[in-house]
Structure 1
Amino acid sequence: MYTYIAEAWNTPSESYVKQLQWSRLIEWRKEENFVKIDHPTRLDRARKLGYKAKQGYIIVRGRVRKGSLRKRKIRKGRRAKRRGINKITMAKSLQRIAEERACKKYPNLEVLNSYWVGMDGQHEWFEIIMVDPHHPVIKADKNINWICSPKQKGRAYRGLTAAGKAGRGLKWKGKGAEKVRPSIGAHNRKGK
C-alpha cells in the first residue's frame, strides 16, 4: 500500500494527488498557519520518518511564505547596490523555518521530523511530526524514549532534524561516504 502512495506523491501533478491538492489547498488557505491534524496526509512518508499512530505523537501542518528574505527599505544613505533588499537568500530552507515555528508554537513538544505536503504561488505547507517527551507511552517505548532526554530540547533550533542536518551539510551519501563539507571548525583549521 505504501508503495502506491509513494508513487503517487513522487509526481503529484501526474497522479490523483493533483485533484486532491486542488480542493485541499482551498481549505488550508483558510486555516491558521499551524494546525494540529488527526492523521498524516502522506502516511508513507510519515511512517518512514518515525511516525506511529499512538499516543504522544502529534502531526502539525505548518504554512510558510515562499520566496527569499525580503528586508525593509533602508532610509539612510548608501549607494543603491549596497541597500540589500532583494536577492538575499535565506541560509535556512523553508522546511527548517516551518519546524522552528512549530517548535515555538508548541513548546511542550519536540520536533521529530517533517515532510512537504503542498504549495501554491505564495505558500508552502509542511507536516511536522512532533512528540510529547513527557507522555508516559513515549517514556515507556524504548525506540523513541531517547527524545525524552534533556539533551534533545530544541532539536529544530539546533538543526538536529533531517532537514536541519541537510542544511548544515551533514547529509551522508551512502555507506562510508564523506560528508558534503567539513565542519566550520575543521574548515577554519585547514587554512592554518
Structure 2
Amino acid sequence: MGAYKYIQELGQKKQSDVMRFLLSACCWQYHQLSALYRAPGPTRRDKTCTLGYRVKHGYVIYRIRVQHGGHKCPVPKGATYGKPVHRGVNQLKFAGSLQSVAEERAGHHCGALRVLISYWVGEDSTYKFFKVTLIDTFNKTIRRNSATQWITKPVHKHREMRGLTSAGR
C-alpha cells in the first residue's frame, strides 16, 4: 500500500484514536494563528490533489478559521423594544454553510486570486477550520495550462460570492 493510500484511509476514519489525536493537536495549533493564514502547503496532499491542487507556481493555500454556532442580530444601540427572545435577536442561524463563508473571506482578502475549492480541516469547540485553494490567474503556468485556462476568464471573478464553488451550490 502506497503512502497516499495509507493517508487516505487514515483520513476517512476520523473517529480512530490516531486521527482524533492528530486533529486535536492540529486544531490547537490552528487556534493560535490568525483567522486568515497562508499555509505553506496542503496538510492532506492526497485530498487536495483530487480536488484540483497542483504543486506549481500560481497555486496558493489559505487556512481560514470560522466561528460556528448561532449569532446575534445587529441591533442599533441594543434597542430591541421588547424582549430579545420575541424579537428574533438571539440565536440566529446562518442559511449558508460555514465552508462557503470561509471561501468568501479568502476571496475578499485576496482579491486578485480566484477561489478554486475548499475542504474541511478540523474543528474545536469554538471554530471550524477550512483550507481554501486559490489560483493566481496572472501566472504564466496557469494561463498556458489547458486544464486551468478556464478560471482565467473574467466570467469567473469572485465565483465564491455568487455561489459557483462546490461549497456555495
Q: Which runs of 5+ in 2 are unaligned?
A: none
Instruction: State the match for 1:44 in structure 2.
Output: 46
1:88 to 76, 85, 92: 92
Instruction: State the match for 2:73 in structure 1.
Output: 71
Separation in 1 of the partners of 2:57 and 2:64? 21
DSSP 3-state at the match of 2:37:
strand
Instruction: State the match for 1:184 in structure 2.
Output: none
- Asked if 1:161 is matched to 2:165, the reply is yes
1:2 deviation in Å?
2.9
Contact 1:8/1:15 (8 A) holds in 2: no
Instruction: State the match for 2:133 in structure 1.
Output: 129
Instruction: State the match for 2:113 in structure 1.
Output: 109
Instruction: State the match for 1:97 in structure 2.
Output: 101
1:37 deviation in Å?
1.2
- Asked if 1:33 is matched to 2:35, the reply is yes
Instruction: Indicate the structure whose relative CO is greater, using CA pairs within 8 Å and at least 6 residues apart.
Output: 2
TM-score, length basis structure 1? 0.80
- Asked if 1:118 is matched to 2:122, the reply is yes
Residues 139-167 of structure 1 deviation map (CA, whole Å, 9 limit, x = unaligned): 011001110000000011011111111xx
Aligned sequence identity (%): 33
Residues 80-103 of structure 1 deviation map (CA, whole Å, 9 limit, x = unaligned): 553112342211100000000011
TM-score, length basis structure 2? 0.90
DSSP 3-state at the match of 1:53:
coil
Moved over 3 A (4+): 78-82
DSSP 3-state at the match of 2:8:
helix
- Number of positions where the alignment pairs a residue of Structure 1 with one of Structure 2: 165
1:42 deviation in Å?
1.5
Indicate the RMSD between aligned Cα atoms, in angstroms.
Answer: 1.6
Q: 1:33 to 1:129 in 2, by over 3 A?
A: same
